[in-house]
Amino acid sequence: DFAKIDHHRHLRTGFPEVIWGPGKTPDQIAQIMTVMAGRSPVVMATRIESIVAEQLQAQVPHLIYYPMARICALQTGEIERQGIGVISIITAGTADLPVAEEAAITAQLCGFSVQRLWDVGVAGIHRLLSHRELIGQADVLIVVAGMEGALPSVVAGMANCPVIAVPTSVGYGVSFGGVAPLLTMLNSCATGIGVVNIDNGFGAAILAGKILRTAQKIMNYEL
Amino acid sequence: DFAKIDHHRHLRTGFPEVIWGPGKTPDQIAQIMTVMAGRSPVVMATRIESIVAEQLQAQVPHLIYYPMARICALQTGEIERQGIGVISIITAGTADLPVAEEAAITAQLCGFSVQRLWDVGVAGIHRLLSHRELIGQADVLIVVAGMEGALPSVVAGMANCPVIAVPTSVGYGVSFGGVAPLLTMLNSCATGIGVVNIDNGFGAAILAGKILRTAQKIMNYEL
Amino acid sequence: DFAKIDHHRHLRTGFPEVIWGPGKTPDQIAQIMTVMAGRSPVVMATRIESIVAEQLQAQVPHLIYYPMARICALQTGEIERQGIGVISIITAGTADLPVAEEAAITAQLCGFSVQRLWDVGVAGIHRLLSHRELIGQADVLIVVAGMEGALPSVVAGMANCPVIAVPTSVGYGVSFGGVAPLLTMLNSCATGIGVVNIDNGFGAAILAGKILRTAQKIMNYEL
Amino acid sequence: DFAKIDHHRHLRTGFPEVIWGPGKTPDQIAQIMTVMAGRSPVVMATRIESIVAEQLQAQVPHLIYYPMARICALQTGEIERQGIGVISIITAGTADLPVAEEAAITAQLCGFSVQRLWDVGVAGIHRLLSHRELIGQADVLIVVAGMEGALPSVVAGMANCPVIAVPTSVGYGVSFGGVAPLLTMLNSCATGIGVVNIDNGFGAAILAGKILRTAQKIMNYEL
Amino acid sequence: DFAKIDHHRHLRTGFPEVIWGPGKTPDQIAQIMTVMAGRSPVVMATRIESIVAEQLQAQVPHLIYYPMARICALQTGEIERQGIGVISIITAGTADLPVAEEAAITAQLCGFSVQRLWDVGVAGIHRLLSHRELIGQADVLIVVAGMEGALPSVVAGMANCPVIAVPTSVGYGVSFGGVAPLLTMLNSCATGIGVVNIDNGFGAAILAGKILRTAQKIMNYEL
Amino acid sequence: DFAKIDHHRHLRTGFPEVIWGPGKTPDQIAQIMTVMAGRSPVVMATRIESIVAEQLQAQVPHLIYYPMARICALQTGEIERQGIGVISIITAGTADLPVAEEAAITAQLCGFSVQRLWDVGVAGIHRLLSHRELIGQADVLIVVAGMEGALPSVVAGMANCPVIAVPTSVGYGVSFGGVAPLLTMLNSCATGIGVVNIDNGFGAAILAGKILRTAQKIMNYEL
Amino acid sequence: DFAKIDHHRHLRTGFPEVIWGPGKTPDQIAQIMTVMAGRSPVVMATRIESIVAEQLQAQVPHLIYYPMARICALQTGEIERQGIGVISIITAGTADLPVAEEAAITAQLCGFSVQRLWDVGVAGIHRLLSHRELIGQADVLIVVAGMEGALPSVVAGMANCPVIAVPTSVGYGVSFGGVAPLLTMLNSCATGIGVVNIDNGFGAAILAGKILRTAQKIMNYEL
Amino acid sequence: DFAKIDHHRHLRTGFPEVIWGPGKTPDQIAQIMTVMAGRSPVVMATRIESIVAEQLQAQVPHLIYYPMARICALQTGEIERQGIGVISIITAGTADLPVAEEAAITAQLCGFSVQRLWDVGVAGIHRLLSHRELIGQADVLIVVAGMEGALPSVVAGMANCPVIAVPTSVGYGVSFGGVAPLLTMLNSCATGIGVVNIDNGFGAAILAGKILRTAQKIMNYEL
Ligand SMILES: Nc1ncnc2c1ncn2[C@@H]1O[C@H](COP(=O)(O)O)[C@@H](O)[C@H]1O
Ligand SMILES: Nc1ncnc2c1ncn2[C@@H]1O[C@H](COP(=O)(O)O)[C@@H](O)[C@H]1O
Ligand SMILES: Nc1ncnc2c1ncn2[C@@H]1O[C@H](COP(=O)(O)O)[C@@H](O)[C@H]1O
Ligand SMILES: Nc1ncnc2c1ncn2[C@@H]1O[C@H](COP(=O)(O)O)[C@@H](O)[C@H]1O
Ligand SMILES: [Mg+2]
Ligand SMILES: [Mg+2]
Ligand SMILES: [Mg+2]
Ligand SMILES: [Mg+2]
Ligand SMILES: [Mg+2]
Ligand SMILES: [Mg+2]
Ligand SMILES: [Mg+2]
Ligand SMILES: [Mg+2]
């Protein structure tokens, strides 16, 4: 009653409803998971702190916790392989890893292949340039950066695929909890960048997944 | 000397450099256009007011002006058809048209097919629901909205393709020149939305184009 | 002396003064409650954390605590039934419940009938549309939403009664603790929406109550 | 095609769609008015500057312009009297009149009775207190104020009816174009206040009208 | 060495340097107090939490702590009576007391007479009006208010003396930790109001003291 | 009817109501001036652009215009000398003169003596130090500064009288139209500073006048 | 009298006072220039629009106007060569030229050598990389960028000299008139960057000049 | 793998990569330190709380912790003396010490000489003036200030060397965690100031070091 699960979301959008953890009691999360478990091969909850994960694992058998990504998942069936290409995820620094892993684990649990490239921020541009080929050949890129968030601008100038930019709350002072990199990404003079909310690795993964799925859908027009 | 044209951008990113009009003198724009004309089948400049367009047309022969989209284009060759699917563009209101047309004309000049659906904002939800099929079958959606900018949230809940959300500066008071719809779009509880800068119809079109082109690229893996 | 209770507020405005908990010591709250108890059939304090509630219950006999709503109430007489119609309260998500319950309990303690509808946010619009009748027939609606706060816009387009919009601090990143849904609600292109402060379920309930009471008052003109 | 008129809005919400002028060309406004004229006894457009009004009057016969309220109206039938009570409108200063008149004319064109009380701001509180009776007996109050916007707080403490607060952009420096009075109104420690966007006299009138109409609707339950 | 005490401040400005507690270690505060003790009849430190106060009292004999005002004071001589008139301090609510007491204790320790009037906010304007005489006859007024901060506007319209307005961080949502009442006070349409930083009871007291001292100074011109 | 003149303001607060020009038509201003003229020896209107002043002078005989201060005044009687001391006004730069003159002319028209010191900003501190005596002996100081607004901090550290700080909109970039100097003044680590709204020379003058008048009032206690 | 020229600034800081044009009448500027002319080999005024420049040239003989830089200069003696190295100035785009030229002309008029490199923004990183040597060998760099302002981060990662970053107001939407690139530059994860106000080419040039002069000063310690 | 250390940074920029502590686990920091230790005579990590420092010291032998500066350093070789001149560091207050010490220790560990001057804020300007000579003769100045941050303006008016301004988060209310002093410093009417992020003592030290190193580099041109 406190939750109306959107069971048709998978049909409409190609992805199941995912539980957003904050503001829900562990009991509420556990109940929603249990109800959803029968309907979907994977049930996920995001933004789960480790202490909450332990409470959930006590109530929900077989629940897996990904601590870096802060995701809980209940896998009741085989995860079907989705899309053809690969989702490449890049971070500017080491401190951006939790957000990047939220994206990576979400994508993997939804059936997509993921490629990781960590800590190649613009202050040492050679680190990025030495992966020029990877970037030039990517199918879809998720670029995760905090502080000044300049990485997506440089990457989008080197890539011919869509770039999803994820600002993170990594930084201090006038980074304003991620507002500064968000503005950088929205104002980018490189084109073809779609931006998501601060720290929203989850949303970036779903968008990347939809891009790969659209590709498959369009292919069928041809064949 | 005042401009270093990025002639290889087309090779790297699949799209040519496009001239951003504001802050350049008409003379500078005309010179850049002339230099680029020999290299690319279409040379575009965006954010051109009609009075500037007239000055440009006096200097650059065969220049076409799209007044609603505020785009000048010099077409020196045949525009090659790009991608397979269609870019569907939706607006919440009539006042959002200039931004939507910037997206539409950009996409068309880059070789993509475009479908337009104007004035279906959420205050009369039946207007949107009567196009449920169009939305459900779209390949990629650009959703343009000012004021509270709620349209992309509702559309993304009905679509299985990527949604590009474009906030516009249409509104008054606490719309803050488009900041309010921008925040709405970034905070959307519907997933799979990539957001661009306020009034950035151009950027939305390039991103949509890259999404369709990625589809084509991935197809080649299969074949 | 530290508090000048406004005993005539009920006479002037139709509602008693209600104690706002934050920034008061438990002792101060208990003293004010005791003084007010003799004068009003119900004495309420809002924003009371459970630990404070326990301290209050130790000092004030018969005090009831509503944990979800974070309200303490001392009921010394029969609550008189107010108004004729019903206050309908809707939330976008599960995490908005505490604010919605603050509204619901306040309304009930003031003598109004309440109808609850939880978790029908716009990302799955069918959840809302399946309650189209309830919304079309409502007397007054309180709509509670965090994140992008788009729900009141859609609801107000379906209802012919006044809509009171309550933004919540549910969200992260650029939800800015509820500022984003607040802006959404103030900029709504649907009309007939009155907005209250972030998380202010209490104020929404009083406004809804005043709307129903006005109805009664006007009736007397006719009769 | 550039506009999808919401002809059923009157049925759903009790009020017709009203044309928001800014961002539309005079031609677009005139076309929409002409299409709507056959369907509704009154067709209104708001935020029309006098120079645009003249262009419209040249195209649309019998169009009336209210310069203080900046409203154009085409009255093709008798305006039916709505509601039973009266909408009382109060301003803090003389400079708030355009917003207050937008509310007053909107309400009158929708069939409601209006009572006006101008320039009774809180810096000379006796001006307000001398209308204590009017405020105490009002059915619904619209309170319009710029600068610090303190008037609704004081009025709501004296009234037992709903108060709709309209912040105006009157002021300078840190009034931030109306943000300061908006914050004042949202933070009011007086209760029962619903706030609308800055300068939104139109929205305040529709909300006030819905409140009076709800009263009528509820009355029918009794009878 | 970590602190250069401004021993001449009393000579230049009429008030001794006062220690601002936050960001200093208890050791640093104790050392500064000890050095200053020989030079000034009263040594004060503000913003001292009770736990820090205990540590200070362990090191500095005879140190007095005022918990509501969060002030520590070391009184080594007789406090000389300053000024002729009285500083009247008014609060809007009970939760504003800590800030008001910071002002009151500061003023008293500097030798001024203080009059207190608590909890007379504008939502029940009769509470204020019943002290009309006190306000009309005051020498200088300090008005302390959080939430919407409307009290100084009303008070300044009733008083002929200078009004010092102190916004407090009491409130929630869009009170933004005191920014909303600050804006209200700066935008006041009543005149003769000087505003200080949020929660700055200390600064308000010094300004009020300077006003009374100036009065005395000017008197000497006459005599 | 559009204006309720507060004829008793002089009695209550010691100063007459002054007309704020913006948002009023010249006709409205002229009418209010004419009505007030019989009641008060001086009638003032502030923020009057020269073009409006000419229209007013055509309607209101004997009206004087102070172009630098943008004040119109109608002097129908002798201006009574107020207070005993002098109001000293200091600016940081030449561009701050309009605001400083608004303060100076207001004060003079209200009967106070004024001393002017222009262009002594902190970037060349010797300019200020060479007036150390003037500052040390002042009765009340109005300090006007734009850009970073540091002047009041330095002045308040040298003076023993109250300092009224007026931020101006002089500056560019992150001066944000005067917000930066406003913040500087509110955060000042020098004490005894009361701040008014950006560019509010008028309000500063009234506050300074009230401070000098308080001196006179207190003197009577002694005598 | 309206201006206290700081004749010793050259002695104290090594640079003469420079006239900031905005907010001064052409008469005031001309008077200040004339007074200063006898004292300094070069007298400069910044932010002079061409129409003002013409008025100044009519009053001040031999005045030179630099239209791109918006600087007026009166050269009455030989400009002495300052420093040893060179100030290198880089822009991200063509629209940043006015700010870059303000820096370049200021530096040249103060006696420094300048090297210009325009339009090498990060969206086409090869444009920058092809000047790797120039950057690696620079003595001091001024980097001018609007929109997302990422260029200084990349440049500072390639240079071993101090970098002065100048954000410009070039951009739209959430560039917020230059706030976005300002934040980018302040948050840079590359180190050794000093930031100046938005569009402040003048200030950047003075800082660069001071850096080169310091070098000379230190050299004398050695010799 | 989680970190790509930029081993060539020293070659390119003259300074080694420094580890930014926040957002990294102690294990990650310890691993990075160990890897870097063989390559650089000093390995530093900044923003290390004392509790983290203890964990690091348990894993990394010979690690030194500077508690006031919150820096951990591993010195494996002799620190080579850099530059010729001295970096002078000034603070406005005692609470600014942690930031100033971050600058001082960073500079010393990089081989530079440092001179410290604490607590000479502008509220007692004589404290600053008594060090006029030190300031006039400095090679490069780092000025650290919170609250209103006025100190760099005054210092830059007295110095002929570059000034690096560091705003701190010391303050309350509208200091907004250091935004207010940041704005002050960026808007300074004194010239030759480069600003860094709030609390960024580290960045200020590197910039100061680069300035002194540039001096040395330029000297070689001469010799
Ligand atoms: N980390 C996340 N960030 C943003 N949205 C999320 C996240 N995790 C889940 N969601 C979305 O949040 C919604 C669920 O909200 P609720 O009904 O409160 O559980 C779903 O629509 C999800 O798609
Ligand atoms: N949750 C709430 N949100 C906003 N206002 C409240 C709330 N609870 C009580 N109030 C109001 O707060 C005022 C009491 O403030 P105080 O004098 O500090 O107790 C009364 O006017 C109440 O109507
Ligand atoms: N474009 C500019 N940006 C910032 N400061 C400037 C500029 N031009 C001149 N100044 C400074 O402005 C001050 C002059 O202000 P004023 O006394 O109003 O002429 C001097 O301290 C100059 O160093
Ligand atoms: N206190 C600090 N403030 C700003 N940047 C820093 C600080 N300490 C280290 N850095 C920089 O942060 C970067 C390291 O980021 P990461 O890869 O996350 O370790 C390096 O480029 C350092 O130069
Ligand atoms: Mg790194
Ligand atoms: Mg429409
Ligand atoms: Mg839900
Ligand atoms: Mg008035
Ligand atoms: Mg109270
Ligand atoms: Mg000057
Ligand atoms: Mg370019
Ligand atoms: Mg100190």
What is the Å distance from ligand 5's center to G184 Cα?
17
In sequence order, which ranges of chain G are alpha helices (DSSP H)?
Answer: 9-13, 26-37, 50-59, 97-109, 125-129, 132-137, 151-156, 179-186, 201-222
Mean pLDDT of chain A: 93
Kindly calculate the radius of gyration of chain B based on its CA atoms and give it in whole angstroms.
18
Q: Which of B119, B126, B174 sits opposite D3 (nearest CB)?
A: B119
CA-to-CA distance for F98 and F48, rounded, in angstroms?
12
Q: For ligand 2, what atom is nearest to the CA of residue C19? A: 19
Ligand nearest to the CA of H189: 3
pLDDT at D175: 98
- Nearest 5°: the CA angle D157, D158, D162 is 75
CA-to-CA distance for H114 and H215, rounded, in angstroms?
17
Mean pLDDT of chain H: 93
Is D158 in CB contact (< 8 Å) with chain E?
yes
Give the confidence band of B222 by pLDDT, cuts at 50, 70, 90. low
Distance from chain centroid for Cα E166: 9
A202 lines ligand 1 (CB under 6 A): yes
Residue D186 has pLDDT above 70, yes or no: yes
Backbone torsions φ then ψ of C67, nearest 5 degrees: -65, -45
In the numeric block, the tokens 């060998």 are attached to: G137
In the G/H pair of chains, how many CB contacts fall below 8 A?
A: 155
Query: Which DSSP letter does residue B97 get?
Result: H
pLDDT at B152: 98
Is F125 in CB contact (< 8 Å) with chain H?
yes
Using DSSP bridges, classify how beta strands B64-66 and B71-75 pair: parallel, antiparallel or unpaired.
Answer: antiparallel
Q: Which of A94, A120, A175 sits opposite H24 (nearest CB)?
A: A94
Residue A218 has pLDDT above 90, yes or no: no
pLDDT at H9: 81
Q: Which of D84, D194, D213 sits opposite C164 (nearest CB)?
A: D194
Q: Which of F122, F181, F187 sits opposite H147 (nearest CB)?
A: F187
Establish how many alpha carbons lie within 13 A of residue F26's alpha carbon, considering only the half-sphere containing its beta carbon: 14
Is residue C183 a contact partner of residue E173, using CB atoms and an 8 Å limit?
no
CA-to-CA distance for G17 and G45, rounded, in angstroms?
9
SS (H, E, C) chain H: CCCCCCCCHHHHHCCCCCEECCCCCHHHHHHHHHHHHCCCCEEEEECCCHHHHHHHHHHCCCCEEECCCCEEEEECCCCCCCCCCEEEEEECCHHHHHHHHHHHHHHHHCCCEEEEECCCCHHHHHHHHCCHHHHHHCCEEEEEECCCCCHHHHHHCCCCCCEEEEECCCCCHHHHHHHHHHHHHHCCCCCCEEECCCCCHHHHHHHHHHHHHHHHHHHHHHC
pTM: 0.96
F62 Cβ neighbours under 8 A, 6+ residues apart? F74, F75
What is the Å distance from ligand 4's center to G189 Cα?
6
Q: Which of B191, B207, B221 sits opposite A84 (nearest CB)?
A: B221
Residue H46 has pLDDT above 80, yes or no: yes
- Mean pLDDT across B87-93: 97
**CB-based contact G23 F173, cutoff 8 Å:** no
Closest CA to F87 of F197, F221, F211: F211
**CB-based contact B182 A186, cutoff 8 Å:** yes
Is A83 in CB contact (< 8 Å) with chain G?
no
Is residue D152 a contact partner of residue D193, using CB atoms and an 8 Å limit?
yes
pLDDT at D40: 81
Establish how many alpha carbons lie within 13 A of residue F178's alpha carbon, considering only the half-sphere containing its beta carbon: 23
In the E/F pair of chains, how many CB contacts fall below 8 A?
A: 155
Nearest CA to ligand 2 atom 12: C20
Rounded to whole angstroms, what are the CA distances from E125 to E97, E150, E163?
19, 11, 18
pLDDT at F222: 64
Distance from chain centroid for Cα A24: 21
Give the confidence band of A223 by pLDDT, cuts at 50, 70, 90. low
CA-to-CA distance for H66 and H194, rounded, in angstroms?
27
Q: How many CB atoms lie under 10 A from the CB of residue A116?
A: 16
From its phi and psi, is residue D114 left (phi > 0), alpha (psi between -120 and 50) or beta? beta
pLDDT string in tens for chain G (223-residue length): 888 888 788 878 888 889 999 999 999 999 999 999 878 889 999 999 999 999 999 999 999 999 999 999 999 888 888 878 999 999 999 999 999 999 999 999 999 999 999 999 998 898 899 999 999 999 999 999 999 999 999 999 999 999 999 999 999 999 999 999 999 999 999 999 999 999 999 999 999 999 999 888 887 786 6
CA-to-CA distance for D42 and D109, rounded, in angstroms?
7
Rounded to whole angstroms, what are the CA distances from F157 to E43, F96, F192?
19, 21, 9
Is residue A111 a contact partner of residue A208, using CB atoms and an 8 Å limit?
no
pLDDT at D223: 63
- Mean pLDDT across D7-30: 88
What is the Å distance from ligand 11's center to B65 Cα?
22
Is B131 in CB contact (< 8 Å) with chain D?
no
Helix E179-186, helix D179-186: angle, nearest 10: 120
- Mean pLDDT across H200-206: 98
Ligand nearest to the CA of H119: 12
Query: Which DSSP letter does residue B96 get?
Result: G
Ligand 4, residues at Cβ distance < 6 Å = A 93-95, 119, 123; G 189, 191; H 17-20, 46-47, 200, 202-203
Distance from CA of F177 to the nearest CA of H (A): 11
Ligand nearest to the CA of G118: 11
The sign one gets for the Cα dihedral E159, E163, E167, E170 is negative
Q: Which of G 39-58 lie inside 8 A of F, CB atoms?
A: 47
Return the residue of E nearest to H146 by Cα: E23
Q: Which of H97, H118, H173 sits opposite E200 (nearest CB)?
A: H173
F80 Cβ neighbours under 8 A, 6+ residues apart? F41, F111
Residues of chain E under the 70 pLDDT cut: 222-223
- Encoded amino acid at E41, one letter: P
**CB-based contact E197 H172, cutoff 8 Å:** yes
Rounded to whole angstroms, what are the CA distances from A51 to A47, A58, C38, C170, D45?
12, 11, 46, 21, 57
Backbone torsions φ then ψ of E17, nearest 5 degrees: -65, 140
D181 Cβ neighbours under 8 A, 6+ residues apart? D145, D146, D147, D148, D149, D167, D168, D171, D175, D198, E187
Nearest CA to ligand 3 atom 9: G20
Query: Which DSSP letter does residue B79 get?
Result: P
Q: Which two tokens stand for residue B116?
A: 């337009």
What is the DSSP code string of chain A? ------TTHHHHHSS---EE-TTS-HHHHHHHHHHHHTT-SEEEEES--HHHHHHHHHHSTT-EEETTTTEEEEE-SPPPP--SSEEEEEESSGGGHHHHHHHHHHHHHTT-EEEEE----GGGHHHHHTTHHHHHH-SEEEEEE-TT--HHHHHHTT-SS-EEEEE-S---GGGGGGHHHHHHHHT-SSSSEEE--TT-HHHHHHHHHHHHHHHHHHHHHH-
In the D/E pair of chains, how many CB contacts fall below 8 A?
A: 116
pLDDT at G82: 86
Q: Which chains have at least 3 CB atom pairs separated by less than 8 Å from chain H? A: A, E, F, G
Is residue B75 a contact partner of residue B42, using CB atoms and an 8 Å limit?
yes
Give the confidence band of B45 by pLDDT, cuts at 50, 70, 90. very high
Give the confidence band of H63 by pLDDT, cuts at 50, 70, 90. very high
Q: For ligand 4, what atom is nearest to the CA of residue A94? A: 18
CA-to-CA distance for E98 and E108, rounded, in angstroms?
15
pLDDT at D96: 97
Best of B9, B155, B210 to mutate (most A CBs within 10 Å, chain A): B210
**CB-based contact A183 G189, cutoff 8 Å:** no
Query: Which DSSP letter does residue F173 get?
Result: G
Mean pLDDT of chain D: 93
What is the Å distance from ligand 3's center to H189 Cα?
6
- Encoded amino acid at B104, one letter: A
Is residue A20 a contact partner of residue A200, using CB atoms and an 8 Å limit?
no
User: Could you report the per-residue pLDDT of B138-151, keeping only the tens digit for each?
Assistant: 999 999 999 999 99
- Probe target for ligand 2 pocket from C18, C29, C44, with the most ligand atoms within 8 Å of CB: C18
Is G206 in CB contact (< 8 Å) with chain H?
yes
**CB-based contact F23 D94, cutoff 8 Å:** yes
C124 lines ligand 1 (CB under 6 A): no
Is B147 in CB contact (< 8 Å) with chain C?
yes
E85 Cβ neighbours under 8 A, 6+ residues apart? E113, E139, E140, E212, E215, F214, F217, F218, F221
Residue with the larger pLDDT of the pair E39 and C29: C29
Give the confidence band of H5 by pLDDT, cuts at 50, 70, 90. confident
Give the confidence band of B172 by pLDDT, cuts at 50, 70, 90. very high
User: Could you report the per-residue pLDDT of A21-56, keeping only the tens digit for each?
Assistant: 999 999 999 999 999 997 888 999 999 999 999 999
Give the confidence band of C76 by pLDDT, cuts at 50, 70, 90. confident
Residues of chain F under the 50 pLDDT cut: none
Ligand nearest to the CA of H22: 4
Q: Which of H124, H147, H190 sits opposite F157 (nearest CB)?
A: H124
Q: Which chains have at least 3 CB atom pairs separated by less than 8 Å from chain D? A: B, C, E, F
Mean pLDDT of chain B: 93
What is the arrangement of strands in the sheet containing H71-75, beginning at the earlier edge strand?
H19-20, H42-46, H71-75, H64-66
Distance from CA of H120 to the nearest CA of E (A): 7
pLDDT at C108: 96
Ligand 3, residues at Cβ distance < 6 Å = F 93-95, 119, 123; G 17-20, 46-47, 200, 202-203; H 189, 191
Taken as a whole, chain H contains a residue count of: 223
- Mean pLDDT across A211-220: 86
Helix F179-186, helix H179-186: angle, nearest 10: 120
Query: Which DSSP letter does residue G80 get?
Result: P
Distance from chain centroid for Cα G41: 19
Is A1 in CB contact (< 8 Å) with chain C?
yes
Is residue F178 a contact partner of residue F148, using CB atoms and an 8 Å limit?
no
Q: For ligand 4, what atom is nearest to the CA of residue H24? A: 18
Return the residue of G nearest to F169 by Cα: G23
